[in-house]
Amino acid sequence: MDPEIIERIVLSFPVLLLAFCVHEFMHAWVALKQGDDTAYMLGRVTLDPRAHIDPIGSILFPLVGALTGAPLIGWAKPTPTNPRKYRNYKRGDILVSLAGVAGNLGLAVLFTLLHVVAMLIARGTGPTPFLVTADNLFVTGVLVNIMLIFFNLLPVPPLDGSHVLYHLLPVNLAHAYRQLFPYGMFILYILLLMKALQPMGKLAEDVAYLFLSVGRLVA
């Protein structure tokens, strides 16, 4: 196997694991704040990976991406919610849907700050092997979380963007759009196999490097 692919996998999977856990934790926590305790009662308001990791979406799908050069994206177990419990159905569903990407945005900012710290330390100690590896992990953390933001905002069921779009559409279009929901996973696999997500990956890379560039200016 190509050493670059091995390095990509080794650096990306710990970051993906954290990103998935934070993403689903945020869904569950915001749902609880909106009045729905379904996820809370099922033990999903936690950062414990065992509660969130999905073998296909969290391992197989990203692995295929790593091996094919596609964006390193995926998903965890969907957070169970009961929108009827939200104090305001439409507002609650939108907020819960966007909570996951908000968590990934927070991680992207955190990894950018860690990248800045690593650069500042390197100025004093020099680029030691440990520091270089750690910084590569931080850079990967920014890239992976920005990619997950773009991916989850795609209007393809069951991704978060589909819930937001559903509420923004007129009633007749929303009803027609809802008919696509059972076929969302099939659509995602087709998009991946056709490499149709690569332009999104390039855009996510550009935004990630914008984050990193701002961090370097600060440092």
Q: In sequence order, which residues have a C-beta less than 8 Å from that of residue 94 and are 6 or more positions away? A: 163, 164, 167
How confident is the model at residue 70, as a pLDDT? 66
- For residue 211, the Cα-to-chain-centroid distance in whole angstroms is 16
Give the confidence band of 195 by pLDDT, cuts at 50, 70, 90.
confident
With a cut of 80, say whether residue 209 has pLDDT above it. Answer: yes
Q: What is the pTM of this model?
A: 0.89
Give per-residue pLDDT as tens, 28-50: 999 999 999 999 999 999 999 99
Distance CA 164, CA 35 (A): 19
Instruction: Domain of residue 144: give its range.
Output: 3-218
Q: In sequence order, which residues have a C-beta less than 8 Å from that of residue 130 and are 6 or more positions away? A: none
- Cβ(115)–Cβ(138) under 8 Å? yes
How confident is the model at residue 206, as a pLDDT? 93
Give per-residue pLDDT as tens, 16-28: 999 999 999 999 9
Strands (E), the chain: none
Mean pLDDT of the residues in the chain = 90
How confident is the model at residue 167, as a pLDDT? 94
Give per-residue pLDDT as tens, 141-153: 999 999 999 989 9
With a cut of 90, say whether residue 115 has pLDDT above it. Answer: yes
How confident is the model at residue 2, as a pLDDT? 66
How confident is the model at residue 7, as a pLDDT? 76
How confident is the model at residue 66, as a pLDDT? 72
Greater pLDDT, 48 or 58:
48
Greater pLDDT, 63 or 5:
63
With a cut of 70, say whether residue 1 has pLDDT above it. Answer: no
Taking CA 159 as the corner, what is the angle to CA 153 and CA 164, rounded to the nearest 5 degrees? 60
Give per-residue pLDDT as tens, 156-184: 988 999 999 999 999 999 999 999 898 88
Structural domain count, the chain: 1
Residue 24 is a catalytic residue: yes
With a cut of 70, say whether residue 71 has pLDDT above it. Answer: no
